[in-house]
Amino acid sequence: MANTMLTLGKALLKHSLHIGELTGLERFMVSAVTLPDRAMTLLGATNVEPELVDPRFDYELLEKSAEANLDLFEIVRQKVHADMVVSPVWQGLMFFGTAELGTVFKVDKRRVPYSVDYPIKKPEDIASIKIPQQATGHLKMYFDITKELQRRHPDSMFMLIFDGPWDLAMLLRGDGHLPADMRLHKNYTEAKDQATRDKIRRFGNPDVYPAIMELTTQVAIRHIQLAAEYGLSLMGSSLVDQYAAKPIMSREDYFKYVHPYRVRVWEATGKKIGAGYMVPSPQESEQNMKDPMLGKSMGGFSNYIYPQTPEGLTLPEYDRPSLDMAKKYKQSYSYFIHGKYLRDATESQLDAAVQRICQMAVEVRANLMVTLASVPPGASLEKANYVFKLVEKYGRY
């Protein structure tokens, strides 16, 4: 992308002198420093079901063709009026690089690819998985797509997402086994005496969990290095371990048995990658701010896994504390409209929801970013645009 500091400087000047409307990217850049002109809007393009955009695109095509992903992304970018449209790869979790390490994905025309078989079935399988020396397969396709978009749109940001050690391990070992591996390891390391440890060994191998996590830590580091070697900008990139959160595991277990591996990835790659940790309450978000790695990540305050009403809206009492804390820590509150709410709600219900959160952000004078968790079948691009228009209407500071 163009010189970041120059773009930021121009955006700040334009904002402070009130010279015209900020562009979407300018609004994002200004929000990193101060309050922009209005709340921001962001869409992860891959969250839009392809059939809603154009029936020519399906997951069988998108899994094979980088060009199809690029074409679909350009159409979404034209049709959806968000400040930022990111995430241009419609391949489910395939593009995180484990398909090349042995994870088997099922690809159907109308369903996002999903994992059905995992290469680590027994301890000996761990050593057979080699750290990639080059980007190949779907990982390479992901890099190619991102590189092409960074070339085509130098005035935009295309943030890379990398799976972290836990999520990679879930894709290599399977969600039916990894939590049990962790529990066995935890019981073993926290056992009071050797006799208990000896007994635990009769029920399984407590060394499997750390061996898998060691492997996936090295894989995660290598994936990030490969992206840099590929000439990709890592600005705004993030390391994601979305399955290392509640209710999969407790906060205590996360910090003891997952976080240290993530810190190693973060440190080994020059602390350039954001590495957040999804939490179900604003109070826990504030605790995250005290951690050197989590506190520096974008999206520290997000309603993504906050408890919801049956209709799919975040419980209303969670919003004000999140906005207050986002302001205190100079971050944004990322407010997701969940797919089922977008699908089921009437226009007047959407209006009320967006008006409420925007007015609260304006009152608190906190940065707010409204985004859509998904645009599922039954919703539409028009409905997505309607939400973003509402933010433009109600979100002016």
For the bound state, the minimum distance from the C-beta of residue 391 to another protein, rounded and expressed in Å, comes to 23
Distances (CA, A) of 369 to 83, 219, 301, 304, 308: 10, 32, 10, 12, 18
Query: Does residue 106 bind another protein (CB under 8 A)?
Result: yes
Q: Are strands 332-337 and 84-86 parallel, antiparallel or unpaired?
A: unpaired
For the bound state, the minimum distance from the C-beta of residue 284 to another protein, rounded and expressed in Å, comes to 11
Which of 229, 344, 347, 363 is in the footprint of another protein by CB under 8 A? Answer: 344
Query: Does residue 176 bind another protein (CB under 8 A)?
Result: yes
Identify which of residues 199 and 330 has a Cβ nearer to another protein in the complex. Answer: 199
With contacts defined by CB under 8 A, name the span among 125-133, 153-161, 369-377, 383-391 that binds another protein: 369-377
Closest to 332 (Cα-Cα) out of 1, 33, 17, 116: 33
In the chain, % helix, strand, coil (3-state, to 5) comes to 50, 10, 35
Closest to 173 (Cα-Cα) out of 147, 144, 205, 221: 205
Query: Does residue 355 bind another protein (CB under 8 A)?
Result: no
Query: Does residue 115 bind another protein (CB under 8 A)?
Result: yes
Which of 73, 374, 387, 390 is in the footprint of another protein by CB under 8 A? Answer: 374
Cβ proximity of 313 and 277 under 8 Å = no
Query: Does residue 54 bind another protein (CB under 8 A)?
Result: no
Residue bearing tokens 């959806």: 80
- Within 10 angstroms of residue 27's Cβ, the number of other Cβ atoms is 22
Which of 3, 34, 151, 203 is in the footprint of another protein by CB under 8 A? Answer: 203
Query: Does residue 272 bind another protein (CB under 8 A)?
Result: no
Site size for another protein, by CB under 8 A?
41
Residue bearing tokens 């350009």: 74
Give the distance, in angstroms, between the CA of residue 161 and the centroid of all CA atoms in the same chain.
Answer: 7
Query: Does residue 248 bind another protein (CB under 8 A)?
Result: yes
Closest to 165 (Cα-Cα) out of 246, 116, 229, 224: 224
Query: Does residue 376 bind another protein (CB under 8 A)?
Result: yes
With contacts defined by CB under 8 A, name the span among 9-17, 76-84, 137-145, 370-378 that binds another protein: 370-378
Query: Does residue 311 bind another protein (CB under 8 A)?
Result: yes
Identify which of residues 156 and 216 has a Cβ nearer to another protein in the complex. Answer: 216
Which of 68, 101, 112, 368 is in the footprint of another protein by CB under 8 A? Answer: 112
For the bound state, the minimum distance from the C-beta of residue 344 to another protein, rounded and expressed in Å, comes to 4
Cβ proximity of 279 and 305 under 8 Å = yes
Which of 21, 108, 267, 382 is in the footprint of another protein by CB under 8 A? Answer: 108
For the bound state, the minimum distance from the C-beta of residue 364 to another protein, rounded and expressed in Å, comes to 27
- Within 10 angstroms of residue 108's Cβ, the number of other Cβ atoms is 12
Which of 2, 13, 116, 131 is in the footprint of another protein by CB under 8 A? Answer: 116
Closest to 70 (Cα-Cα) out of 87, 51, 47: 87
Q: How far apart are alpha carbons 331 and 116 in whole angstroms? A: 38
In which region does residue 92 sit, left (phi positive, over 0), alpha (psi from -120 to 50) or beta (all else)?
left
Which of the residues 291 through 310 are near another protein (CB under 8 A)?
Answer: 308, 310
For the bound state, the minimum distance from the C-beta of residue 310 to another protein, rounded and expressed in Å, comes to 4
Judged on CB neighbours under 10 Å (0-12, 13-18, 19+), 395 is buried
What burial letters (b/e) apply to 282-317, b meaning 16+ CB within 10 Å? beebbbbbebebbeebbbbbbbbbbeeeeebbbeee
Identify which of residues 313 and 368 has a Cβ nearer to another protein in the complex. Answer: 313
Identify which of residues 188 and 394 has a Cβ nearer to another protein in the complex. Answer: 188
Query: Does residue 200 bind another protein (CB under 8 A)?
Result: yes
For the bound state, the minimum distance from the C-beta of residue 253 to another protein, rounded and expressed in Å, comes to 7
- Which residues of this protein are in contact with another protein, per CB under 8 A? 49, 106, 108, 110-112, 114-116, 175-176, 179-180, 182-183, 186-187, 196, 199-200, 202-203, 246-250, 253, 308, 310-312, 339-341, 343-344, 374, 376-378
